[in-house]
Amino acid sequence: MAIELKAYPDLCHGCGNCVVACPVNALRSSEIAGGKGPTDEVEVIMVVEDGAINIKNSDLCGKCGTCVESCPVDAIRLEESE
Amino acid sequence: MISTHGDPMPKHIVSGLKYLAAVNLTKQGHTQKEVAKRLGINRSTVSHYLNGRNLSMRSIEIAKVITELCPRDFLLLTYALIQDIDKTKTIVKSCQKRKFKASVKNSCIGCGICIDSCLMKAIKLDELKAKIDSKWCCGCLICVEMCPTNSIEIEEVEY
Amino acid sequence: METTEVIEEGGNITVERAGEETRKLLFNNGLCAACGLCEEICPVEAIETNPTGAMIRTEQETSKITIDEGKCVLCGMCSSICPFQALDLQIDGTSIKEIPGYPQLIKSAEIDENECINCKACETACPQDAITITRELPKRKDLVTGEIEIDKDTCIYCGICEEMCPADAIEITHEEPTSINPVIASDINVDEDKCVHCGICKRVCPVDAIMQVCRICPYGEYEIELEPEITGTSYIDPELCVNCGWCQEICPVDAAKVTKPFEGELILDEEKCQGCETCVMVCPCNVLSFPKPEKVGDKPEKLHKDETFCIYCGACERSCPVDAITVKRKSINYTPTKSKAWQNAFESLTK
């Protein structure tokens, strides 16, 4: 029962706050550090695709909770996975 | 007391073990009264044992086999039969021919698991380290297996 | 002889083994900072600490640590190392903190009652709300002296003195005028417990209805206690205190003294840091903060630290998702123990 990053795309508004707030994303992509969604091929933890959040590389996640706090609709969470 | 069918009941095996213990304790210099107290039997029974009476030869044979089992089996079987720690200790100690030397390494963390698992009550904690009284160690190796840090060493000693 | 574990709803855990002694390990989830020291020291790898950032920043129902009862042997090392009092091993009902032979962290936080002036700076600054200061203040009327009287026949109940009184000491009983009782007020009184004899009411009264004189300048030294004593108590809750040293640093009269269990170094990598604030929120000692630029265009350091308050618990390092923090523990102060295994365990936490 470990704590993992989980997305709820049905709740997501696609605002991208989590993508931009994530420090791991910002460290890897200077576009994200500058405050916009990535346009290049840099591997980041999650991106907005087709209007909803999509977790691409959860193994990079340090479980700091910054994205969780930035989400206005509780569409991305750190919770126990069974 | 003596079964006509040839298969002794558990209590007959127990009396076989107590007979062997009584003989060995007497050889070690204990009085009949002391022997009786330690084994939980009447002094007159001790006297009968030593004079070769009130015995079933089958019981004694089986008891002898038990005392020669590997130490863990001897210990666990005796305890299963007698259900009393002090009497088990007495029987195992007096009937076991083998001698052991137990030592505890500095990797011991003082968790006390060995103390809880030792049926011979041979282990105590001193300043966060286990101390084993080799006199009482029967070589069953249960503590060695239970120790979470592999800190116990038991050697059989030639005598 | 079985080891059992009970996890309560608030996240508290009890692990117990009843053998020759009854050993009980008690975990208090509320006090835990998810620093990971217990996990590091455990000789049988029975403890896992959940991700520090997630446990402190987000709502979690689970406990901050998990203890595997199949592995835990209730040795007590975790209890001895925890700087937050979150773990306690009890043997036959007595905590190992009270059993000689078990090493204790050497740490303290004390307020000298003789030096303390009950200013409450420490209570305000304490990051764990561990300090309670009470104080008994003198009565206002014991610190002023004077005379005041309002002539109720001259008074026109204009209410100007009531409005202007800085001590809210004047009260007028206002009335609704009726034809049978055509008055706007029926009474005026001065509460002499509140009055400070400033004289504003006398000076502002349009009909000179107030007689007031302050006696503090001519007669103060005869009539009042010029240096009143402020008494009180100070208490540091030993369960909550983490020995960060805020009280020691902030106390204006050096009445608070703190000794810390760990010494070390805190290293921040400004290049890696993305300013996510996780470490700031996770730190139990308010060591870290984001500085504000003094003027427009200034570029201050990204993340500010003051190691004066640091206890080198490592929670920040553990929580940083980009490995921008390194905590180097140089020494641990603990009471002597004869056990080599315990000495090695403690020393293994230092570099």
Task: Name the residue among A24, A27, A78 with its Cβ closest to that of C54.
Answer: A78
Per residue in A29-68, is it b (16+ CB within 10 Å) or e — as a string? bebbeeeeebeeeeebbbbbeeeebebeeeebbbbbbbbb
Closest-CA distance, C299 to chain A, in angstroms, reads: 16
Task: Name the residue among B112, B116, B127 with its Cβ closest to that of C339.
Answer: B127
| pLDDT, mean of residues A14-29 | 96
Q: Do chains B and C touch (3 or more CB pairs under 8 A)?
A: yes
Phi-psi region for residue B68, left (φ > 0), alpha (ψ -120 to 50) or beta?
alpha
DSSP helix/strand/coil, B11: helix
Q: How far, CA to CA in Å, does A26 sit from each of A21, A55, C334?
A: 8, 15, 42
Chain B residue closest in CA terms to C70:
B148
User: What is the end-to-end Cα distance of chain C in Å, rounded?
Assistant: 38
| pLDDT, mean of residues A55-74 | 96
Chain A residue closest in CA terms to C323:
A62
H or E element that contains C125 = helix C121-125
- The pLDDT profile of chain C, 351 residues, written as one tens digit per residue, is 799 999 999 999 999 999 999 999 999 999 999 999 999 999 999 999 999 999 999 999 999 999 999 999 999 999 999 999 999 999 999 999 999 999 999 999 999 999 999 999 999 999 999 999 999 999 998 999 999 999 999 999 999 999 999 999 999 999 999 999 999 999 999 999 999 999 999 999 999 999 999 999 888 888 888 788 889 999 999 999 999 999 999 999 999 999 999 999 999 999 999 999 999 999 999 999 999 888 888 888 889 999 999 999 999 999 999 999 999 999 999 999 999 999 999 999 997
The alpha carbon of residue C24 and the mean position of all alpha carbons in its chain are separated, in whole angstroms, by 30
User: Which residues in chain A have their CB less than 8 angstroms from residue C51's CB?
Assistant: 3, 62-64, 78
- Are the C-beta atoms of C316 and C325 separated by less than 8 Å? yes
User: What pLDDT does B66 receive?
Assistant: 93
Determine, for residues A24 and C322 on separate chains, whether the beta-carbon distance falls below 8 Å: yes
pTM for the whole thing? Answer: 0.90
Q: Which C residues 233-292 touch A at CB under 8 Å?
A: 272-278
